[in-house]
Chain A
Amino acid sequence: MIQKFRSYGLAVSMILVLALFAGCKNEHHTIRQAEFSDSHAITITFASPVDADWAKNPANFAVCEKQDPDILADIASLILTPDGKKLTLKLAEPLNQNNHHTVTLKEILSDGKSGGTADVTVKKSYAGYLIQILIGAMIIQNFVFSKYLGLCVFFGTSRKKSTAVGMGITFTIVICFASLMSWFFYQFVLKPFHLDYLQIVVFIGLVSLTVQGVDTILRKVNPKLFKAFGVYLVLVIANCIVIAVPLMLANNEYNVWESLMLALGAGLGFLIALFLMSSVRERLEFADIPKSYQGLPIAFIVAGLFALSFMGFSGMTLF
């Protein structure tokens, strides 16, 4: 059983490494890098020196947030380094670095020759962005304590620590698979055919399918593991989080890595919440509670206290 977990850990770390590499890609051959240099500026590094005359003309540049291309940011000044390879665009107003920005460079002139027009996407370090999504879903916007989802299963399975951990692990695995499948279907079937209104039906179908699939495979491949976690599989389907995550990643147009991080964060966040809650509820067994509060009412009040403390994370940004 421990070896099984080791191999899961290996798979997860491999996915993380792949995610790091996925962030590095070139968009235009003359542009090597584009990044936020401070709250007001974007720095673009060119592969070969560009002409100073071209670089000093603000009409050659347009900066906007990727989601609303109509609203252009005002460029206050343009600074080119003496070697002509690094250009800093100073903007009149501060940038929201959480959003992706697009910089359009019209007819890049290098040694008098035009290099064509380039659209460059400027974003924060991709690995950092992914980790932000992961931590965000796990702690800052914890699905149980900050979004109030998945409560039925949460209160049902947090009586004992062993149950809580079993449920948490099963849930994390299922939600990762289900989200990836939903992402795939949304991007390659629902969107191209304009079937967006079928989201709910398709996603819930895929989730049930995943649960059934994991059930069948686990039963055959590892009966011991199935004995330990099989009972929780049925409960996964009754958990709102498992359907909320696909809906959220369809709304936000996440790509495959971002979707995986959101799903993983949701699963691990649920595991954390279950573990915290079960530790408290095991102690509540021995506490002297008024009769009307025994069972669920006191569990709700404990959850409320947790939710209050999780409010302390709100608005936190990491990178």
Chain B
Amino acid sequence: MPKTTKSNTQLVVSGLLNENPIFRLALSMCPAVGLTTTVMNGLLLGVAVLFVQVFSSCTISLIRNHIHPRIRIPTYTLTIATWVTVIDLLLAAFVPVAYKAMGIFVRLIVAFAIITMRLEVFACKNDLVPSFWDGVGMGLGFLFGMTLLGGVREILGMGSFLGYDLLGFRPLLFFVLPAAGFFTVGFMMAIFNYVETVYNRRKKERMA
């Protein structure tokens, strides 16, 4: 991909919708399945990923002219690892209870394909400002996906949202089972696909 021609708003919107990391690019699936039993967990990990993505993108786009192409992947990895350490220590210090609930996933952000991929295809070819907005878009897209999944699972499974009781009963307790993460992601992906096909068909009809 050469230097981007998109405006900042376009970058953010594409990260949120048509290049959504979870539903469209299908990267970083582990937390989307394993950690979305409640909205809160999804939200917090989403914020952590947003943080790491934005800061890593900025770092790489600042030093991109000094990286030898042959060692670019190790450089990305170490940059991400540094920012993950920062957010890991921050979360452990300020929100210890939630940090414990997220378990090992915060540290595993370091192996999330989405971040490395954005550095490789975007940040290492673009200036600081577009890289920043691309990071924001991708991070927000991830946050959006995690919250959506967490919301669906919490409402269907527990009948509550963010811990507040909404329905007063539990419609489908099955959805809070850890294994149901796979089903939820599968159904959501199918819905995204369906919406896309319908949208494209409408567009074609309008053109014709």
Point out residues on A near B: beta carbons under 8 Å: 145-152, 155, 197-201, 204-205, 208, 237-240, 242-244, 247-248, 290-293, 296-301, 303-304, 307-308, 310-311
Contacts and interface: CB of A to CB of B under 8 A. Distances in A.
Which bucket holds chain B's interface residue count?
35 or more
29 contacts: A148-B30, A148-B178, A148-B181, A149-B34, A152-B27, A152-B30, A198-B85, A200-B88, A204-B77, A237-B77, A238-B111, A240-B108, A240-B112, A242-B111, A243-B108, A243-B111, A244-B108, A248-B104, A291-B197, A292-B191, A293-B186, A293-B190, A296-B186, A296-B189, A297-B189, A300-B182, A301-B182, A307-B182, A308-B179
Contacts of B88: 200
Interface string B168-191: 000000000111111101110111
Contacts of A248: 104
B85 to A, nearest CB: 5
Contacts, number: 116
B30 A240 contact: yes
A293 B74 CA distance: 37
B91 interface: no
A160 to B, nearest CB: 18
A146 B177 CA distance: 11
Binding site secondary structure of chain B:
helix
Which 3 residue pairs are nearest across A and B when measured between Cβ atoms? Answer: A304-B182, A148-B34, A300-B186
B110 interface: yes
Contacts of A208: 73-74, 77
B107 interface: yes
A307 B107 CA distance: 23
A152 B190 contact: no
- Most interface-central of B89, B111, B185 (chain A CB within 10 A): B111
